[in-house]
Amino acid sequence: MSKIIARLGLGSCGIAAGAEDVWVELKKVINDNSMPVTMEKTACIGMCFEEPVLELSGEGKPKVMLGKVESKDIKGILDGYLNDKLEYGNIILHEHEEAVHNELIANQQRIVLRNCGVIDPESLEDYEATGGYQALRKALSMKPTDIIDMVKESGLRGRGGAGFSTGMKWQFAHNAAGHKKYVVCNADEGDPGAFMDRSTLEGDPHAIIEGMIIGAYAMGADEGYLYVRAEYPMAIKHLRKAIADAEAKEYLGQNIMATGFKFELHIKEGAGAFVCGEETALMQSIEGKRGMPTIRPPFPAEAGLWGKPTNINNVESWANIPWIITHGAAEFRKFGTEKSPGTKVFALAGKIKNSGLIEVPMGMTLHDVIYKVGGGIKDDKKFKGVQLGGPSGGCVPASLLDTTVDYDSINKTGAIMGSGGMVVMDEETCMVDIARFFLNFTQNESCGKCTFCRIGTRRMLEILTRITQGKGVMEDIEKLEQLAVQIIKSSLCGLGQTAPNPVLTTLRYFKDEYIAHIVDKKCPAHSCEALVTYEIVPDKCVGCTLCARKCPVNCISGTVKQVHTIDQSKCIKCGACYTSCKFNAITKD
């Protein structure tokens, strides 16, 4: 009987789904039955919606991956796999046969996520076995300017938001005068619905570290910071171990690979302020000050941390670097488009079947991302829109589903690529309320330094709230547009400059919904509570009394087996009657 490997996903999403209990049971079953099985840990492979995920492989046996595994399944799974009689009902990936998510993986191109869900993220040996730190060895034999030229030739654009040329940023820092320079990884991921950085840091911490060391050598820096929000304890834990292991192996430290190059790397835990994702506010935070944006110029490449030249890239940008150095700029350019080469990682969230983390070539259409990789809309409902770029981005409607995923095409829609958050919405989503939700977030996260950002976003939020309550007037639309322009023009940093985007794009593509809220006092999506009316259909009501018993304010009257009625003057529109009725006798309008 051949020895097999049982690899379990123990990333944050896996643990939240119960993977730790599965791990305990896995160990017990193997020990109690003396099975020839080796247990290994890994992180999330991206299919968060299928967690806990268990992969089985062995000599002479196919590699298979199972989803939604429970402790009670383990004995049968191992027995079946060992005896070539695996009958588990949720085989999600199969090396040789058809499986439910083979297409999901086939439509991806994994560069940044190449090791996530594949290796043990706490094992330096696992990373080295995939070629880890060989890119660093190659880079240290090159001239710094040759490395920068390679990154330029690759066309890699910063994956954190605006998409500026990574190679050009490196060139600016390299050319800056001074012996003391810093490199920084911006892992302050704060967008609602975004978890790209967290999963990458949890699943492949050495890739980010190796990228930063290569960048530091190219730019002439000897010190760096990983700025990670404290809400990511597993990512921080894995990074700390990775740094310690890299130092022990002399990939970090005072004499890296016996070349004389030195580089020291620190972790700075952020307190969760969204504004600290903006690079000048981030640097203020690292320096121990309140995280607030500062005026540019000077730009960080000239005067950044403690007034020294500083380069800042995000997690995804750094993770691309070792692959580019190893394979070359031309190979990287084989993916994506002319102006947006390579791949992009997205966090799929919202009303989508396959929620999780994906990596696709630039140039794929939004339709293919959502339907071929994301599996389409939950419960097969109608697609309505997708919010790209988080609170700083915008909403792209169904009519633009053929838009290609690249920086220029996405920008033309009024949205932005951002760091990769993709929140999918269906027909039951109110676009006015979505705009209110994102504006509420940015309003709360404003540092308050700029008057228009601090007060203007609050005025916009008040207007949106009134509209969702049925108290809006037509003049509110013009006011929203005027305030948006002033906030964009008068804000110092990217938070304020992009805060109105969700409002502007929903006004651009879904203006009829605003008008319906204001003029008709109706929410077309039946989502805004203040504008929803619940009524009982006489022909369907059987008088079971369940709705009356569930009503928290006793506004439903009627006797057993008789038609009930709702007193609209007392109804608080909680929806308890609607969700409890088993006969579809209550309408929501």
CATH superfamily, domain at 4-100: Glutaredoxin (3.40.30.10)
According to CATH, where is 3.40.30.10 located in the chain? 4-100
Question: Given this model, what pLDDT does residue 2 score?
Answer: 65
Rounded to the nearest 10 degrees, how much is the dihedral formed by the CA atoms of 43, 48, 54, 59? -70
Over range 134-141, report the average pLDDT. Answer: 98
| Confidence band, pLDDT 50/70/90 cuts, at residue 156 | very high
Q: What CATH number does the domain located at 533-588 have?
A: 3.30.70.20
pLDDT tens string 430-464:
999 999 999 999 999 999 999 999 999 999 999 99
Question: Given this model, what pLDDT does residue 534 score?
Answer: 93
Predicted confidence (pLDDT) at residue 1 exceeds the cutoff of 80: no
Question: Given this model, what pLDDT does residue 238 score?
Answer: 98
| Confidence band, pLDDT 50/70/90 cuts, at residue 47 | very high
Predicted confidence (pLDDT) at residue 76 exceeds the cutoff of 80: yes
HSE-CB for 106 with a 13 A CA cutoff: 12
According to CATH, where is 3.10.20.600 located in the chain? 343-426
Q: Look at residue 389 and give its three-state secondary structure.
A: coil
Question: Given this model, what pLDDT does residue 589 score?
Answer: 85
| Confidence band, pLDDT 50/70/90 cuts, at residue 529 | confident
Yes or no: say if 305 and 221 are a contact pair by the CB < 8 Å rule.
no
Percent of the chain's residues with pLDDT above 70: 100
The dihedral built from the CA positions of residue 429, 433, 438 and 440, taken in this order, carries a sign that is negative
Of 319, 277, 497, 501, give the one whose Cα is nearest residue 410: 501
Amino acid at 249: K
Rounded Cα gap, residues 568 and 288, in angstroms: 55
Give me Rg for the CA atoms of the chain: 27
Question: Given this model, what pLDDT does residue 528 score?
Answer: 92
pLDDT tens string 184-230:
999 999 888 889 999 999 999 999 999 999 999 999 999 999 999 99
Q: Quick one: fold of 124-332?
A: Rossmann fold (3.40.50)
Q: Quick one: fold of 431-520?
A: de novo design (two linked rop proteins) (1.20.1440)
> Residue 6, exposed/middle/buried by CB under 10 A (0-12, 13-18, 19+)?
buried
DSSP conformation class of 520 = I
Q: Quick one: fold of 343-426?
A: Ubiquitin-like (UB roll) (3.10.20)
Predicted confidence (pLDDT) at residue 60 exceeds the cutoff of 80: yes
pLDDT tens string 386-433:
999 888 899 999 999 999 999 999 999 999 988 888 999 999 999 999
Helices (H), 386-528: 407-412, 431-445, 451, 457-468, 475-490, 494-498, 501-509, 511-515
According to CATH, where is 3.30.70.20 located in the chain? 533-588
Question: Given this model, what pLDDT does residue 138 score?
Answer: 98
